[in-house]
Amino acid sequence: MQSLNRHLPGSWRKLLLSLALLISGLGLLLWPARTLRSDNFVFYFPTSRRVIPLEVIDSVQYLPLLPVLNLVGTLNGLTERRNNLKVAFGDSHIELHDGDPRVRLDKKTLILAAPVRVSNGKWMVPSDFLTTVLARLTSQDVEYQIGTNRVFIGNIKPGSFTVRMEQESSGARLTFQFTDKVTVHTESTNGKWVMFLGDHPIQPLEQSFHFQNPYISDVRFDDQDGLPKLVITPSAAGMNFYPELLEGGKVLQAEVSKPAQPPPQTPKAPPPATPSSTATTAPPVAPGPATGTAAQTGPATPAGPPLPVVALDAGHGGEDNGARSRDGVLEKELVAQLVERVRQALLTTGKFRVVMTRTGDANVTFEQRAVAANVAGAAYFLTFHAGDLGGASPQVAIYTYQSPGLASPSSEGGANPFFVAWDRIQENHIGQSGKLAQTIEQDLAVLAGVTVDPATAAPERTLRSVNAPAVAIEIGSLSPDVDAGPLTDAAFQLHLSSIVAEALSALQAGGA
């Protein structure tokens, strides 16, 4: 710096300094960014569990190599050069190179899904190292599902669970069916209910479940601290929560309800005791701002058998407006209005509960729509759309699902009923969906002044993953060439809604 001061005039010094700053600024700006975030990875052993922080670099999960090896065995030696690491582990020798996905294990070369990296001086390996390399290093079983944050090492049979949500008149009921017995300890933290599931390792089928429901927003499985637990987020504050273990600890049922007015004071009646049952009833919990349990009593007890659920889907939504009429009516708004009328008509019958896959102007994916219906155990699924139907308005067309990959739509169902992928589950219901479509079509025939197209099959994407008899109902025409007046008419919508409700009632009663 002294040399710079001595040999350069002041203006040159400033210029050079500015240029250096500019170049280094640009360099920093354009340096390829690495996406980096931290999470935990849980190692389950038969009698213990350990948590190791993992890093996600460029969308790949990385684990620190040496802590992982230390967990499962003994390091006998380590030689680290600039870009190369040699590890003596038990009787084996491992050699890795920075930036190289190949790992040399004794005389074999194994290839990882992503290159080995050195991050903050630590040798990091992608998580498939667990199955590609670690499984060969140890004599113990290594069970790891790519993409998850947990591995089971040794003789461990992790359990799993399914979730079902049923909406009731004054609340919702969550039912968790576990493959193994669990014990439950419930706490309320930051407005959420946390149910600790004891010591048994759990590998969930899905990490989280989302609901569009006035009582429950989502259910998430979490074991980031090594303790398996379910975190339930209520849709609103002030709900009551009554978890209860049934069937010897294999079924966990949780009632969520709005507090009654005035608040109930009577204690909850204990569940009927059975000699073999180890069921425990956790006290009701209300979510509060701080950790702790708030004793609320008087659970909502369901009266009679649950009513069948109808899932109603208003097509499009959010950024997807769908079709637009000449006078500016948007499909997403029109069908939301119609679906609300159908909901009212169905509730008026007193024979159904209703689940809405979209409430408000929200972006909802096809999968989320199907999951909402499937998780609720819907007996029927109706998706509503509006589009160009060619003829005069108003028109109604009803569609069942036509699999695009099957040569000809069959009324008997898919090509192979034994092996239908989960996302094509509707193929198992084609026959019942056809019956549902025909029933609605026949009932609509009485609707004066409305053209009803014969029910047919179409590859409607919304229906593809619905695990219930399902149809798409399209009203028309809603297109840039015509006004939407006949479709926005309240009388038309009310008639259509009541006919749909009557058709479902008739079908449910077996009188279709």
Partner 1 sequence: MSRRAKIFWIAVLVVFAGGLFYLRSLARRVFFEPPPHSDESAKARLSEAVLQSGAGPNETAVLFFPSLIGRALVAESRPIKWAPSEADRVRQVLLALAEGPSQRLGHPLAAATTVRAVFLTLDGTAYVDLSSDLVSGIYPGIEAESLAVYSIVNSITTNIPAVKRVKILIQGQEVDTLEGHADLTEAIVPDPTLVKGNP
# residues near partner 1 by CB under 8 A: 51
Could you say whether residue 466 binds partner 1 (CB under 8 A)? no
Quote the least distance from Cβ 23 to partner 1, whole Å: 4
Quote the least distance from Cβ 501 to partner 1, whole Å: 22
Residue from 229, 385, 429, 435 touching partner 1 (CB under 8 A): that is 385
Tokens of 360: 């408000």
Which residue type sits at 208? S
* Distance, CA of 422 to CA of 77 (rounded, Å): 48
Quote the least distance from Cβ 217 to partner 1, whole Å: 25
Q: Phi and psi for 346 in degrees, rounded to 5?
A: -70, -40
Contacts of 128 (CB under 8 A, 6+ apart): 112, 113, 114, 146
Query: Helices in 305-365 by DSSP H: which ranges?
Result: 331-349
Question: Quick one: 66 or 458, whose CB is closer to partner 1?
Answer: 458
Question: Quick one: 145 or 321, whose CB is closer to partner 1?
Answer: 321
Could you say whether residue 320 binds partner 1 (CB under 8 A)? yes
Question: Quick one: 13 or 93, whose CB is closer to partner 1?
Answer: 13
Distances (CA, A) of 52 to 48, 80, 222: 13, 22, 15
Could you say whether residue 23 binds partner 1 (CB under 8 A)? yes
Could you say whether residue 214 binds partner 1 (CB under 8 A)? no
Of 37, 41, 46, residue with least CA distance to 224: 41
Of 396, 390, 235, 374, residue with least CA distance to 313: 374
Quote the least distance from Cβ 454 to partner 1, whole Å: 9
> What size, in residues, is the chain?
512
Strands 122-126 and 117-119 come out as antiparallel
Question: Quick one: 402 or 439, whose CB is closer to partner 1?
Answer: 402
Could you say whether residue 478 binds partner 1 (CB under 8 A)? yes
* Distance, CA of 460 to CA of 333 (rounded, Å): 20
Question: Quick one: 35 or 408, whose CB is closer to partner 1?
Answer: 408
* Distance, CA of 350 to CA of 205 (rounded, Å): 35
* Distance, CA of 105 to CA of 69 (rounded, Å): 14
Could you say whether residue 13 binds partner 1 (CB under 8 A)? no
Contacts of 101 (CB under 8 A, 6+ apart): 111, 112, 113, 114, 115, 116, 126
Residue from 378, 397, 468, 496 touching partner 1 (CB under 8 A): that is 397
Which residue type sits at 438? Q
Question: Quick one: 135 or 458, whose CB is closer to partner 1?
Answer: 458
Contact predicate 198/184, CB 8 Å: yes
Per DSSP, the three-state class of 362 is coil
Residue from 99, 272, 305, 404 touching partner 1 (CB under 8 A): that is 404
* Distance, CA of 226 to CA of 446 (rounded, Å): 61
Could you say whether residue 152 binds partner 1 (CB under 8 A)? no
Could you say whether residue 458 binds partner 1 (CB under 8 A)? yes
Could you say whether residue 488 binds partner 1 (CB under 8 A)? no
Could you say whether residue 366 binds partner 1 (CB under 8 A)? yes
Residue from 101, 409, 431, 485 touching partner 1 (CB under 8 A): that is 409
Piece in contact with partner 1 (CB under 8 A), picked from 33-41, 92-100, 299-307, 320-328: 320-328
Could you say whether residue 474 binds partner 1 (CB under 8 A)? yes
Question: Quick one: 283 or 409, whose CB is closer to partner 1?
Answer: 409
Site residues (CB under 8 A) for partner 1? Answer: 3-4, 6-7, 16, 19-20, 22-23, 26-27, 30, 315-316, 320, 322-324, 331, 366, 385-391, 397, 399, 402-409, 423, 453, 456, 458-461, 464, 472, 474, 476-479
